[in-house]
Structure 1
């Protein structure tokens, strides 16, 4: 089925994402593709956890990422359970691979590093451990059921990688808003990568947008971008503060915050019969389910699984069509 079972070392019988350890041997099977790695993008929740654990010591963060990849054969943070994605150049394509790529294509993997066999060969010598984007050399393996996109010529690789990393969020938001004819969308973490794209998608789908951000700097940046009709400051971990910040409950609430403990605020901020979309890898799904039950909240809760057909093209089109989103992304990359 081209899902990578041959790469699972332990435990036996699970899929690559659930495996503790994968075989990252660069020799490919007939249905696989080998990528020459150029840059990793650690997901926000994983990088935050590592940076906080090591108190901002970049060398220690780099050492732990190398240890994780070396031990597990993939970048799969054992604390957050998340990974990220990568860009690189197609090195070899197996004769039975269904992926529409060829040697020499510069691509971004649109599947998580938690299921991608990965080998690092340069010791991450070009990375200071102080940002989510990681210059790297090595190899990665894609399966027949993997998702990959050829990088667009008009975007810098770092920019394309940042967009592809969160491209599932705006695409699913667009689908939910249109399917439910949602009038209002609240986005927790609206000033971040996934948050800004989600606001743009919701507005383009016809919804009124509300953003909840952590501080005045994020509020001012988002206000200048003009992506939200309303902006409020609140700690997304404080349920009452979030509910008060949103005001009239939203038809759709999207969680794009990379810290744990945001489930109950999102539920309180959502109208009866509405939908909550959790895109953060820091989400506790038991907390969400039991919290909704305890609050007698009649809401539909969706796991943002990162894949919607056409999601990469959708996000890149938003970036091209909404200059304010591109400006936010470029500013974040420059800051990193």
Structure 2
């Protein structure tokens, strides 16, 4: 029988830790099916693991999909949520609303197919099929189970004109293009460099920068195959090859392509890119970090050590209207859609 505890819109009532922490910082969450009045329960159809989290698990287990699957199951069982202990990141999910608390402010109805726009790191989650349909080799995870949304959670009803897995892939990174467009709009025809421009968040950010009035766009990628993909998509005025972990090589590549950039957007899922991003950015410019692999202490201390007068922003994944904006970019831009469908 549930102990009567008042619900909190942040989900604080689901935290099982002794200390008072928010769900994202909690060690373990309460995953009981019964809802508090302002909650919503979703029947999960698919998880989308955060890219940094999936790559870390893939590297750790040497590409052994079964081992990756077992670790994801272990994390969810132990913590009541999907939060990679190494990267601290999770992902998001798609599912169908199966119960709505009478005081829920989310505007959802039973039967709605939705994508959650809050992280799995703070979402109570139960997996009921042992992820038997997932081979552990991709970020998208077929899943049967349930998840719980709080009063301050965010979820979007999936559009009818797009496949659910495509919508999920877009919504997983929809904060990146929305914030990119907002920042680019503060400048007059700026030069914008997107590091990791052929990826999901990177390709959308390039499209958003152009739509927001960028005068020049530079897509930075690490390998020739991705350079060909990005060039074919037509999303960047210049496509350059550089290892983002090599600060001098990255600076020189961006400069040769028309930089330094007024706005630099970091969308790669590997650590060690902070210094290069700062060096690639003009004085008075802005660096937006969207990668969960970013060391924010390295970024702050690196900018100080380089005497770099740049504004650094943490992409927190939420901008009002971000899901609708990202989906429209996909619909309106054949190059973006081609890259996304190729990854699926």
- CA 1:182/1:290 → structure 2, altered by over 3 Å: closer, same or farther? farther
**Residue 312 of structure 1 aligns with which residue?**
323
Contact 1:182–1:251 (8 Å) recurs in 2: no
**Residue 267 of structure 2 aligns with which residue?**
256
Q: Please give the alpha-carbon distance, in whole angstroms, between the structure 2 residues aligned to 1:3 and 1:92.
A: 19
**Residue 127 of structure 1 aligns with which residue?**
134
**Residue 298 of structure 1 aligns with which residue?**
309
**Residue 330 of structure 1 aligns with which residue?**
341
Offset, 1:114: 0.2
Q: CA RMSD in A?
A: 0.7
Offset, 1:180: 2.9
Of 239, 250, 253, 1:245 maps to 253
1:58 matched to 2:69: no
Q: Please give the alpha-carbon distance, in whole angstroms, between the structure 1 residues aligned to 2:185 and 2:119.
A: 27
Offset, 1:181: 3.0
Task: State the aligned residue count.
Answer: 333
**Residue 198 of structure 2 aligns with which residue?**
191
Contact 1:182–1:252 (8 Å) recurs in 2: no
Offset, 1:182: 4.9
Q: Please give the alpha-carbon distance, in whole angstroms, between the structure 2 residues aligned to 1:225 and 1:128.
A: 29
Query: TM-score under structure 1 normalisation?
Result: 0.98
Of 278, 285, 288, 2:289 maps to 278
For residue 308 of structure 2, give the secondary structure of its aligned residue in structure 1: coil
Query: TM-score under structure 2 normalisation?
Result: 0.96
Unaligned segments of structure 1, at least 5 residues: none
Unaligned segments of structure 2, at least 5 residues: 1-7
Of 298, 321, 325, 2:332 maps to 321
Offset, 1:11: 4.2
For residue 135 of structure 1, give the secondary structure of its aligned residue in structure 2: strand
**Residue 241 of structure 2 aligns with which residue?**
233
Q: Please give the alpha-carbon distance, in whole angstroms, between the structure 1 residues aligned to 2:205 and 2:311.
A: 18
Q: Please give the alpha-carbon distance, in whole angstroms, between the structure 1 residues aligned to 2:277 and 2:188.
A: 19
**Residue 3 of structure 2 aligns with which residue?**
none
